[in-house]
Amino acid sequence: MTASATGSARFLIVGPQGSGKGTQGVLVAEAFGVPQVATGDIFRANVSGGTELGKRVQSIIEAGDLVPDELTSELVRDRLEQADAASGFVLDGYPRNRGQVDDLDAFLTARGEALDAVIELEVPRDESIARLRQRAAQQGRTDDTEEVIANRLAIYERETAPILDVYRERGVVVRIDGVGTLDEVTRRIFSALAERGLAPDAGDAVSA
């Protein structure tokens, strides 16, 4: 049975910085015909669009503060209520911590929905650091020092990685070896999802 046949393709993709989750999230979303919902994109869209939520985000960012969980969850809820996310989505960058997991649970439960799978991209720390250093060099991002990169990974390990324990208890985590070429990792993802009965319609699937 395909995800389209069940009318459900609600995924979360999780992995450390440098794991390639943004790229893989786009490919999964395209294959299943659902939007990739990334918090960074939501922030930028609301700020540039001048929405009330965007104005709140902008004032917080300009003050040098982090966007609080409550507002982040409100922005994500607003995005998931849009028509293109009615049949599913691929969440990237949310939830980042246990509080946001609770917020997402409450939202989905109220709609009679639940996540179909949590895609965990497993990449060793040294591999993540190497990829991030290479990306910083290619993009000329001199502010992405090894210390900054290590701090980002530490935040992920401390705040985000623990949410996987919650989803493992629910039996929805799909663990994927994130080391390899883009195509190799993509094939692993689709193969693992298919084993759970989650496959896009043949006409929509991307070849990897």
Cα within 13 Å of Cα(88), Cβ side: 24
Q: Is residue 107 part of a domain?
A: yes
When the pLDDT of each residue in the chain is averaged and rounded to a whole number, the result is: 90
Burial class (CB within 10 angstroms; exposed 0-12, middle 13-18, buried 19+) of 67: middle
b/e sequence 105-136, b meaning 16+ C-beta within 10 Å: eebeeeeeeebbbbbbbebeeeebbebbeeeb
Q: Is residue 202 part of a domain?
A: no
In the structure encoding, which two tokens stand for residue 197, read together? 């009965």
Ranges under pLDDT 70 in the chain = 1-7, 202-208
Q: Provide the pLDDT for residue 7.
A: 53
Q: Is the pTM of this model over 0.85?
A: yes
Q: What pLDDT was estimated at residue 208?
A: 40
In a domain, 159, yes or no: yes
In a domain, 110, yes or no: yes
CATH of the domain at 164: 3.40.50.300
Asked if residue 3 belongs to a domain, the reply is: no
List, as own/partner pairs, every contact residues 197-202 make where C-beta atoms lie below 8 angstroms and the sequence separation is at least 24, other chains included.
197/1, 198/2, 198/3, 198/9, 198/116, 198/117, 199/2, 199/3, 200/2, 200/3, 200/4, 200/9, 200/31, 200/32, 200/33, 201/2, 201/4, 201/5, 201/33
pLDDT for 76 equals 96
* Cα–Cα dist 9/46, whole Å: 25
Q: What distance lies between CA 145 and its chain's CA centroid?
A: 24
Distance CA 52, CA 6 (A): 35
In a domain, 4, yes or no: no
Tell me the residue range of the domain where 87 lies.
9-195
Q: Confirm whether 95 is domain-assigned.
A: yes
Q: Please report the pLDDT score of residue 120 as a whole number.
A: 97
Four-CA torsion 144, 146, 148, 151, nearest 10 degrees: 150
> What local confidence, expressed as pLDDT, does residue 152 receive?
86
pLDDT given for residue 125 in this prediction: 92
CA 130/CA 136 separation, integer angstroms = 10
The reported pLDDT for the residue numbered 205 is: 47
Residue 202's pLDDT is 58
Q: Is residue 23 part of a domain?
A: yes
Per-residue model confidence (pLDDT) at position 136: 87
What is the number of domains present in the chain? Answer: 1
